[in-house]
Chains A and B, each alone.
Chain A
Amino acid sequence: MTSRSSRQASSGNSGIIITTLEGVPGKEIIEHYGLVQGSTIRAKHVGKDIMAGLKNLVGGELKGYTELLQEARKEAVERMIEQANFVGANAVVNVRFATSSVAQGAAELFAYGTAVKVQ
């Protein structure tokens, strides 16, 4: 799911390469521009919260929250790519994700990496 959402995001943004590796295989990094980051905080409406609370009784996947985090991850990556576009990078390497539950029923997704130019 991660790969799909990030590929979707990258394809819509002038083909910036997103990778968790320290470099882009087969290509050499010629310039780097420092950290780029994207973050978003999202909440689901109260109905979904209640459904999740009910689902919590029996356990299993909380579909509402899975969806929430997927949307949030997609947006965080898009925002990171936007920053990479500003500095004129064509790849973001060593990308890391971090999730935190900032408020009740709301989750933050944060993506960061190093913006670089590859040959």
Chain B
Amino acid sequence: MIEFIILLAVGYFVGSVLEKKHYKDIKKRERKTIHVPIISFGAKQAIPEANEAALFAGSVVVSADYFKMFASSLRNLVGGNVVVYESILDRGRREAILRMKEQAIAWGATQVVNVRLETASIGNQASGGKGLFAVEVIAYGTGIR
């Protein structure tokens, strides 16, 4: 029981510090890369004149801390919004988009078109087991210059 509370406390404090740090980093990088547009269309819409196009993908795996996992197991009993995991997915998406964007910017892209996002759960919690909860987010699109 004591071990369990220690794990919860460590998970909560370390987890929230890391999350705050990550969010700060994400926001900074988002501001830095905001001049390059990313759009989710481009296949049929007339795209701007460009010389070159290339595929860019960014992916990330984010895992939840022990506290979040326990809170979600309680939520599973009660039902409703699993708010503790929202930040995990939000961080994952923004990070994946940023990685894609940063690669494209390094290449010299003026915009990234036809962006698609995919999410997959990697943890074994989805298959009924306990332990790891992690999501993989992949963002991919076509950079043009």
Contact = CB atoms under 8 A, between A and B. Distances in A.
B16 interface: no
Interface of B: 37-45, 72, 75-83, 85-86, 89-90, 93, 97, 115-121, 123, 125-128, 133, 135
Interface of A: 22-23, 32, 34-35, 37, 39-46, 48-49, 75, 93-94, 96, 98, 100-106, 108, 110, 112-114
Contacts of A112: 40, 117
A34 B90 CA distance: 16
Give the dominant DSSP class at B's interface. Answer: mixed
A100 B120 contact: yes
Nearest 4 pairs of A and B residues by beta carbon: A45-B79, A94-B41, A41-B82, A22-B41
B119 A110 contact: yes
Contacts of B45: 22-23
Contacts of B80: 42-43, 45
A70 B41 CA distance: 25
Contact of A39 (B76, B77, B89): B89
